[in-house]
């Protein structure tokens, strides 16, 4: 059925850098649109790159991804994961958000950056990175709420 629960995750590059005000406006319009279309999800932004998980009725998720693909603020939109789901992972968030700052010091030897792993041509690496980032976000959100 076209409106079963569905999840789609994409990565994109910002056409121009987003500052705090730009991101606040994007989040506000996304949250309003998501309430109206029964979508929930997560948005991460770092260094001009977006990672977003959208979930809800399949038709609404696909419409949102199509709209994002046409949005001039995004370039190189790549769908990383597209799948039916039994329950929402982000039911409490019309759009959870976390800015990810870049480190000013070099990473320790052997450090693996989950955000950068999203660019891997290996689907297993991409799926693992997405799972790690999703878990990281959920844990951080729970800590802030406590």
Can you name the CATH fold of 5-101? Alpha-Beta Plaits (3.30.70)
pTM: 0.71
Cβ–Cβ < 8 Å for 79, 65: yes
Q: How confident is the model at residue 1 (pLDDT cuts 50, 70, 90)?
A: very low
Residue 109 pLDDT: 60
How many angstroms separate the CA atoms of 49 and 105, rounded?
20
Which two three-digit tokens encode residue 6? 């569905």
User: What does the pLDDT read at residue 144?
Assistant: 47
pLDDT digits (tens, 9 = 90+) for 5-53: 999 989 899 999 888 888 888 888 888 888 889 998 888 888 888 888 8
């Amino acid at each position: 059925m076209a409106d079963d629960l569905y999840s789609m995750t994409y990565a994109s590059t910002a056409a121009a850098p987003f500052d705090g005000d730009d991101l606040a406006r994007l989040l506000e319009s996304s949250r309003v649109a998501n309430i109206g279309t029964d979508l929930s999800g997560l948005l991460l932004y770092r260094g001009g790159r977006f990672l977003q998980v959208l979930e809800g009725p399949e038709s609404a998720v696909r419409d949102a991804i199509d709209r994002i693909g046409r949005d001039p603020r995004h370039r190189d939109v790549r769908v990383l994961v597209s799948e039916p789901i039994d329950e929402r992972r982000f039911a409490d968030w019309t759009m959870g958000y976390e800015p990810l700052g870049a480190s000013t010091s070099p990473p320790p030897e052997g450090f693996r950056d989950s955000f950068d792993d999203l660019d891997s041509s290996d689907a297993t690496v991409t799926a693992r990175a997405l799972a790690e980032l999703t878990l990281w976000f959920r844990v951080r959100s729970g800590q802030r709420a406590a």
